[in-house]
Amino acid sequence: MKALTKTDFHFEGQKSVYHGKVRDVYNINDDLMVMVATDRISAFDVVLPKGIPFKGQVLNQIAASFLDATADIVPNWKLATPDPMVTVGLKAEGFRVEMIIRGYLTGSAWREYKNGCRELCGVKLPDGMRENERFPEPIITPTTKADEGHDENISREEIIAQGIVSAEDYEVMERYTRALFQRGTEIAAKKGLILVDTKYEFGKRDGKVILIDEIHTPDSSRYFYAEGYEEKFAKGEPQRQLSKEFVRQWLIDHNFMNRPGDVMPELTDAFVESISDRYIELYEHIVGETFVKEEATEDVAARIEQNVAAWLAAQK
């Protein structure tokens, strides 16, 4: 199946479109958002040259599942999923920060820690921690939300002092972030997984803070397998994980971290297929259902356009 890496739809009432690293977001009458999860994949803030078949469907269906599973504790933007690769929801004014919450010292936080960093986004870290060690309590390490280039780490105090988010709204976002992470942790545990870290994005609509975008997907989150975690941690061995980190690690192994002068390595068909398989594996673990590939007898973009147009027409 061919990967969907580009969209150019023209829906009724469409005011604008935003093409993100992975998602294309269509603004309908400044009231609704049609979010298309493409098969693009990004790492180190750059979109890789090949798409990953079924990745968009995986991301969209996991996010939709978790938005439904957390709607009782945090209000969110989702209204419907008219296509396996699309969520339609309420348009909100997004905050210019991403709320990252970490339960374990791993990934970029570990890379900074082993280089001597003992404070991350204003949060002090104890000495003597090891890679993949659990924090006594989850820590929130926000970043700025950049339209282009790298997101930057920022502290709670700096966000409020710079007026990026008001103190009142930030407190709500912080409370929601902890509640969502707790719920996600509980759901993952039932599936034999550990929710290691994740990010949430929030916006404001009608004066109310709501959760927007995707949640608990392999693009926004990192999962370890619970079985074997303690043994591997004790031995200092890498954890078995379901996340995009293996793509980052592959790029690192091929001398690419999007630094000046770095050259993107060739993504072989076999590697692309292995990424697709890993995304499907995570779906089946975290959702607890067999993944049903949406085999397209037609052009994928045409299917999406037809499904979304039909849903919008039915709202009149």
Report how far apart, in Å, the C-alpha atoms of 306 and of each of 7, 16, 97 are. 13, 19, 34
Do residue 144 and residue 74 come from a single domain?
no
Do residue 165 and residue 298 come from a single domain?
no
pLDDT digits (tens, 9 = 90+) for 228-259: 999 999 999 999 988 787 898 899 999 999 99
For residue 29, the domain's CATH number is 3.30.200.20
Higher pLDDT, 281 or 193: 193
Using CA atoms, how far apart are residues 93 and 95, in angstroms rounded to an integer? 7
3-state per-residue secondary structure call for 50-100: CCCCCHHHHHHHHHHHHHHHHCCCCCECEEEEEECCEEEEECCEECCEEEE
* Sequence-ordered list of residues with C-beta below 8 angstroms from that of 266, at least 6 positions apart, any chain: none
Does residue 9 belong to any structural domain of this protein? no
pLDDT digits (tens, 9 = 90+) for 82-136: 999 999 999 999 999 999 999 999 988 999 999 999 999 999 999 999 999 999 9
Do residue 192 and residue 137 come from a single domain?
yes
pLDDT digits (tens, 9 = 90+) for 30-79: 999 999 999 999 998 899 999 999 999 999 999 999 999 999 999 999 99
Average pLDDT over residues 287-300: 83
Judged on CB neighbours under 10 Å (0-12, 13-18, 19+), 258 is middle
For residue 223, the domain's CATH number is 3.30.470.20
Does residue 8 belong to any structural domain of this protein? no
pTM beyond cutoff 0.85: yes
Chain-centroid distance of CA 209 in Å reads: 19
Residue 53 lies in domain: 14-92+267-314
- Whats the size of the chain, residue-wise? 316
